[in-house]
């Protein structure tokens, strides 16, 4: 049909009609809120590049977790800043590591909030890479053994889900195997299946104190130019036992989110990463954009592309706006 028989503006003309035919919506149930737990007490240090996001000691993490739960957000994902770091990231899999203690504190004090843990080594190694260094690069197979131990330690502490973010080959299978052998077959794995070597991670590296001390992560994270490789990576993780697959970053890779949505039936997450957050915050602080409108449009973009779950530092703001 053509104008004047077809007039798209007939439906757009009234808010009630726009609501009736709206194809995509955002719910508080879609959200996961990232948190940075720091060793010590009395710590609540704002990340300079991420306004409103803090490195916090456990008592403050628990207080914010209560706030998150009261807003109806179903889950948090935890990142740790240990007291000390070493070449093998030993705090990552220590029974008394920063994340293990944080999990116990949240589970003891905040009911009905799911605790997801990031499983990686970069926050815990003194060199800032995501595993054991051999001959100037990360040793894949030596690293996956430690990642499996880390995941098991998180689950023993009470984690509801583990999320390996390291991009080592075979790590999902290793984690699934160790969890199953230790009677944790019910614990799901949300795999960072498609994680690109991106420039959008800069503010996170300040927040998690995880900047590599030499080189970069391009030998294990994906080339931003590649699309078909994303399908292979996601399929490999699904075959190894991933229950949820993830794309990271979000906004520059919406085509990849849609590609995975078209190929796979598994639940699909997207990580709205630190650089994306910081750019919006900076533009809003300068009065260049309508912050609420742009953030909500961003969330809709993730859902329209096919994401079921959105990991975002905006989660608390979005939850409050959805309550209006």
Percent with pLDDT over 90 in the chain: 89
pLDDT at 5 > cutoff 80: yes
pLDDT at 128: 84
For residue 310, pLDDT beyond 90: yes
Give yes or no for residue 209 having a pLDDT over 90: no
- For residue 203, is it within any domain? yes
Domain assignment present for residue 267? The answer is yes
b/e burial code for range 124-142 (CB count within 10 A of at least 16 → b) = bbebbbbbbbeeeebebee
Query: Can you say how many angstroms the Cα of residue 39 is from the centroid of all Cα atoms in its chain?
Result: 21
Tokens 């990142």 belong to which residue? 79
The half-sphere exposure of 61 on its side-chain side, counting CA atoms within 13 A, is 31
The whole-number average pLDDT for the span 53-66 is 98
pLDDT at 204: 87
d(C-alpha 191, C-alpha 80), whole Å = 18
Tell me if 10 is assigned to some domain: no
Q: In this model, does residue 172 exceed pLDDT 90?
A: yes
Q: Tell me: pLDDT of 214 over 80.
A: no
> In total, how many domains does the chain have?
1
CA distance 40 to 82: 9
CA 256/CA 211 separation, integer angstroms: 26
Q: Please, what's the b/e burial string for 263-287 (b: 16 or more CB within 10 A of its CB; e: otherwise)?
A: ebebebbbbbbbbbbbebbeebeee
Asked whether residue 4 is domain-assigned, the answer is no
Mean pLDDT of 205-220: 80
Per-residue pLDDT reduced to its tens digit, 102-147 = 999 999 999 999 999 999 999 999 888 888 899 988 999 999 999 9
- Whether residue 14 is contained in a domain is answered as no
pLDDT digits (tens, 9 = 90+) for 69-78: 999 999 999 9
The two three-digit tokens of residue 39, written as one number:
């060793």
Q: Which of 248, 281, 303, 316 is catalytic?
A: 248
Is 248 known to be catalytic? yes
Catalytic residue, from 14, 85, 181, 195: name it.
Answer: 195
Q: How confident is the model at residue 208, as a pLDDT?
A: 76
Residue 41 located in a structural domain: yes
pLDDT score recorded for residue 171:
97
136 inside domain: yes
pLDDT digits 0-9 by tens, 217-269:
888 899 999 999 999 999 999 999 999 999 999 999 999 999 999 999 999 99
Query: What CATH number does residue 83 fall under?
Result: 3.20.20.70
Q: Collect all residues with Cβ–Cβ distance below 8 Å to 95 and sequence separation of at least 6.
A: 153, 156, 157
pLDDT of residue 206: 83
Nearest to 119 by CA among 158, 92, 159: 92
Assign 221 to helix, strand or coil: coil
**What's the pLDDT tens digit per position in 15-45?**
999 999 999 999 999 999 999 999 999 999 9
Contact 210, 242 (CB under 8 A): no
Give the residue-averaged pLDDT of 189-218.
Answer: 88
State how far the Cα of 254 lies from the Cα of 48, in Å rounded to an integer: 27
CB 229 within 8 A of CB 222: yes
Calpha distance 154→93 (Å, rounded): 8
**What are the b/e assignments for 22-31, b being 16+ CB within 10 Å?**
eeeebebebb
- pLDDT tier for residue 279 given thresholds of 50, 70 and 90: very high
Establish if 278 belongs to a structural domain.
yes
Domain that holds residue 281: 25-322
Decide which of 227 and 214 is more confident.
227
49 — pLDDT class (breaks 50, 70, 90): very high
Length of the chain: 324
């Amino acid at each position: 049909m053509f104008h004047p028989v077809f007039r798209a503006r007939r439906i757009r003309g009234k808010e009630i009609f726009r609501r009736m035919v709206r194809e995509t919506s955002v719910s508080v149930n879609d959200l996961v809120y990232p948190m940075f737990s720091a060793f010590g007490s009395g710590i609540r240090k704002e990340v300079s590049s991420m306004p409103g996001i803090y490195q916090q000691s456990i008592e403050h993490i628990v207080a914010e977790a209560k706030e998150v739960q009261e807003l109806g957000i179903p889950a948090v994902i935890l990142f740790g800043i240990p007291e000390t770091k070493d070449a093998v990231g030993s705090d990552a899999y220590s029974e008394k590591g920063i994340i293990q203690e944080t999990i116990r504190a949240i589970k003891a004090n905040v009911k009905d909030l799911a605790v997801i843990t990031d499983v990686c080594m970069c926050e815990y190694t003194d060199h800032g890479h995501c595993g054991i260094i051999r001959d100037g690069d990360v040793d894949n197979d030596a690293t996956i053994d430690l990642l499996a131990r880390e995941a098991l330690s998180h689950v023993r502490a009470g984690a509801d889900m583990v999320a390996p973010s390291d991009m080592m080959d075979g790590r999902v299978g290793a984690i699934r195997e160790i969890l199953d052998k230790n009677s944790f077959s019910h614990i799901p794995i949300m795999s960072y299946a498609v994680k690109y070597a991106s420039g959008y991670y800069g503010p996170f590296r300040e927040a998690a104190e995880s900047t590599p001390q030499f080189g970069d992560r391009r030998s294990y994270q994906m080339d931003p130019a590649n699309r078909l490789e994303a399908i292979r990576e996601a399929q490999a993780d699904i075959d190894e036992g991933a229950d949820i697959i993830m794309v990271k970053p979000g906004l520059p890779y919406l085509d990849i989110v849609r590609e995975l949505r078209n190929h796979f039936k598994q639940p699909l997450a997207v990580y709205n990463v630190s650089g994306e957050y910081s750019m919006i915050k900076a533009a809003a602080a300068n009065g260049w954009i309508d912050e609420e409108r742009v953030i909500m449009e961003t969330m809709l973009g993730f859902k329209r592309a096919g994401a079921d779950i959105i990991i975002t530092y905006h989660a608390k703001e979005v939850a409050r706006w959805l309550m209006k």
